[in-house]
Amino acid sequence: MRPGSMRIVEDLRDQNILALEHAKKENKKIVGMYCAYGPQELVLAAGALPVSLCGTRHEPIAAAEKVLPRNLCPLIKSSFGFAITDTCPFFHFSDFIIAETTCDGKKKMFELLRRYKPLHVMHLPQGTDRPGALKWWMEEMNILKNKLEENLGVEISVENLRAAIKLLNRERAAMKRLHAMNRIDPAPLSGLDMITAIWMKGFNVDKEDGISLINQLTDEIEDIAGKGFSPFAAGTPRILLTGCPVGIGSEKVIRLLEECGGSVVCFESCSGIKTLEYLVDEDESRDPMEAIAERYLKIPCSCMSPNSERLDLIERLIGEYSVDGVVDLSWQACHTYIIEGELVRERVRERFGIPCIQLETDYSNSDLEQLKTRISAFIEMLGGS
Amino acid sequence: MLTVGIDVGSIMTKAVLLNGTELKSLAIPTGCSPRDSGTKSFEELLNASGLTREDIDYVIGTGYGRISVPFIDKAVTEITCHARGAHYLVDGTDMVIDIGGQDSKVILTDGKGNVTNFAMNDKCAAGTGRFLQVMAAALGSDVSKLGDLSHGAEPAQISSMCTVFAESEVISLLAQGVAKKSIVAGIHKSVANRVAAMAERLGKGSRITFTGGVSKNDGVKEYLAREMGREIIVVPQSHLAGAIGAALLAQDRLRAKKS
């Protein structure tokens, strides 16, 4: 039994494009963001609308490859391709773009992208365990704040920052509750529907509406689960997906995992639980900028060295979601995730003795059959299908 | 209990009929239609024993063409099937190296025929039967004869992993007058290197069984043993491991149903 709210979720993208057109007419400013490190609180506090930018589809990659090298990760190529072909409405409507130095490919790509839109690149520290890391990141937050104020012609007040913190914490809590529904065995929501909901939320223009919709969906799932319904049979192998970001257009691995007899119950990746673990500290005696900086720096991304928090998180999630097997998805040429995969496999096997597979692929369909064989064999290993 | 395993590979289709422990098999070229070759192998196998589809209790299809065979009860990946088949052929196998027409796989097992981990070559043809086929064509040989050609020769250096570039390398080695058997030895070494690296990343096997069509090639076997520093076991039915595994898994299914 599929939650009825999924129909509304699926329709969100079109609705949001309309909402953006309206916002534009009302002279609202729109700020496009590529990555989970981008502090949405600052954008909201500037009275602007933060939106995710396209970068999960294969179609614009050919255009990107006229400029960028082929052996670059598909996410970078897709993002760039969407922008230069003007096929991402969110990029099109953006007044300003926030980017980050998450990897070498991205940071150099942004040097080319700035020809198309006013863009600011935040410099991330290389790791979080040095004494100066938070100070550095705080400084970057302040630089971004000035850039936003300058480009959008506004002033970001402490009051607005505090309000934005509260709003986004509520959104995080709502998302976390949605994810947690799939701790139930068998999972009440398919992984494909979950990624659809997570991904669509990113493009959502009105935060309050988005939170209501996610809550409505979660309530509905709770109801369905209460009646004992699930799209999966009892005993279906439960999969945790970790690794590179996934969205609609690049969901082939999730689709195959479920077609071949698995159930993707947990998304550790950036669009998933990785960014929901911590809320921004709402303590009003603190400098909100510091509280924001602190929270964003805790995101366990493979661009940080070392990144042991990710391994700890995976370990926790395996327990919380009763996971039978881990799939570590790496986009081709994403060096940081591909290399870190070794540590993920070691940790998963040593601590849990459950199977872990790293799948390296891109957005194209050229390797579908090969992937299918790997994924089927993995599910067979887990005793499924 | 009569079960059949059909392994529709990219080059050859293998069919195995199991009557308890009695085993009958055949192998035919896949050609351009996995559906036709799957059906043909099944029919020929049954005809030879005077049986019909109704006599067979369970059929499992495997190999890349497994889904295109219409009469099977179930499709299982060749990874699971090779693990099971290799264990049947060589008791105590804990690592299977399967090199087929279009891919190569290293499979770790629990010593009882169950997969515990595996690795598979990526999109390209390096380290596969296809690589050998292209090189054999460049040398004007038949791929089935390659294995005997390299014996005792000093391997020429083939440095390119890419099949197309390696073919150019072979052609230029021929032009330089390098002995054919050295080039063939170099080709075998190249395939073995590639697969051994994949095995090395996966783990150590103490009893390694080599399966798939390329297991018939003694040159590749020899270089695999050298690269990995361990014995590589090949038995006459190694190329049938997938189909045998499928027929055995079919028996398991029937037993599970009955109990």
pLDDT digits (tens, 9 = 90+) for B187-215: 999 999 999 999 998 988 999 999 999 99
Domain ranges for chain A: 5-159, 173-381
Domain at A5-159: CATH code: 3.40.50.11890
Count of alpha carbons within 13 Å of B88, Cβ hemisphere only?
26
- Regarding whether B246 and B202 lie in a shared domain, the answer is no
Tokens 């090949």 belong to: B234
Q: What is the rounded distance in angstroms from the CA atom of residue A242 to the CA atom of residue A252?
A: 14
Query: Taking each helix axis from N to C terminus, what angle separates A252-259 and A191-202, rounded to the nearest 10 degrees?
Result: 160
Q: Which of the four pLDDT bands, split at 50, 70 and 90, describes residue A13?
A: confident
Exposure class string for A323-350: b at 16+ Cβ within 10 A, else e: bbbbbbbbbbbbebbbebbebbbebbee
**CB distance A99 to A121 below 8 Å:** yes
- Regarding whether B183 and B74 lie in a shared domain, the answer is no
What sign has the CA pseudo-torsion A63, A242, A175, A216?
A: positive
- Regarding whether B11 and B72 lie in a shared domain, the answer is yes
Complex ipTM tops 0.85: yes
CATH number of the CATH domain containing B97: 3.30.420.40
Tokens of A331: 């986009």
- Regarding whether B124 and B184 lie in a shared domain, the answer is yes
- Regarding whether B230 and B241 lie in a shared domain, the answer is no
Q: What is the extent of the structural domain holding B220?
A: 92-234
Q: What is the rounded distance in angstroms from the CA atom of residue B101 to the CA atom of residue B119?
A: 16
Interface probe for B, chosen from A370, A371, A385 (most Cβ of B below 10 Å), is: A370
- Regarding whether B86 and B15 lie in a shared domain, the answer is yes
Q: What is the pLDDT along chain B (259 residues), one digit of tens a residue?
A: 999 999 999 999 999 999 999 999 999 999 999 999 999 999 999 999 999 999 999 999 999 999 889 999 999 999 999 999 999 999 999 999 999 998 999 999 999 999 999 999 866 788 899 999 999 999 999 999 999 999 889 999 998 888 899 999 999 999 999 999 999 999 999 999 999 999 998 988 999 999 999 999 999 999 999 999 999 999 999 999 999 999 999 999 999 988 7
- Regarding whether B184 and B150 lie in a shared domain, the answer is yes
Distance from A119 to chain B by nearest Cα, in Å? 37
Q: What is the rounded distance in angstroms from the CA atom of residue A217 to the CA atom of residue A211?
A: 10
pLDDT at A384 over 90: no
Question: Shortest CB distance from A381 goes to which of B103, B115, B122?
Answer: B115
- Regarding whether B229 and B105 lie in a shared domain, the answer is yes
Contacting B with CB below 8 Å, chain A residues are 355, 360, 366-367, 369-370, 373-374, 376-377, 380-381
- Regarding whether B151 and B103 lie in a shared domain, the answer is yes
Percent over 90 (pLDDT), chain A = 95
**CB distance B207 to B233 below 8 Å:** yes
Angle at A233 between CA A229 and CA A234, to 5 degrees: 95
- Regarding whether B221 and B150 lie in a shared domain, the answer is yes
- Regarding whether B141 and B80 lie in a shared domain, the answer is no
Compute φ and ψ for B151, nearest 5 degrees.
-55, 125
In the prediction, which pLDDT does A201 show? Answer: 86
Which residues does chain A have within 8 Å of residue B114's beta carbon, measured at their own beta carbons? 381
Q: Which of the four pLDDT bands, split at 50, 70 and 90, describes residue A373?
A: very high
Q: Which of the four pLDDT bands, split at 50, 70 and 90, describes residue A204?
A: confident
Q: What is the rounded distance in angstroms from the CA atom of residue B256 to the CA atom of residue B259?
A: 5
Domain at A173-381: CATH code: 3.40.50.11900
Question: Shortest CB distance from B80 goes to which of A355, A369, A380?
Answer: A380
Nearest residue on chain A to B74, alpha-carbon basis: A385
Question: Do B79 and A373 lie within an 8 Å CB cutoff?
Answer: yes
Q: What is the rounded distance in angstroms from the CA atom of residue A357 to the CA atom of residue A86?
A: 37
What sign has the CA pseudo-torsion B90, B96, B97, B101?
A: positive
Question: Do A373 and B76 lie within an 8 Å CB cutoff?
Answer: no
Distance from B140 to chain A by nearest Cα, in Å? 30
pLDDT at A14 over 90: no
How many residue pairs bridge chain A and chain B with CB atoms within 8 Å of each other? Answer: 34
Compute φ and ψ for A267, nearest 5 degrees.
-110, 110
Q: What is the mean pLDDT of the segment spanning A231-241?
A: 97
Count of domains forming chain B: 2
Query: Measuring CA to CA, which residue among B73, B19, B59, B12 is closest to residue B37?
Result: B12
- Regarding whether B215 and B182 lie in a shared domain, the answer is yes
Interface probe for A, chosen from B68, B76, B77 (most Cβ of A below 10 Å), is: B77
Which residues does chain B have within 8 Å of residue A369's beta carbon, measured at their own beta carbons? 64
Coil, helix or strand at residue B195: helix
Which residues does chain A have within 8 Å of residue B104's beta carbon, measured at their own beta carbons? none
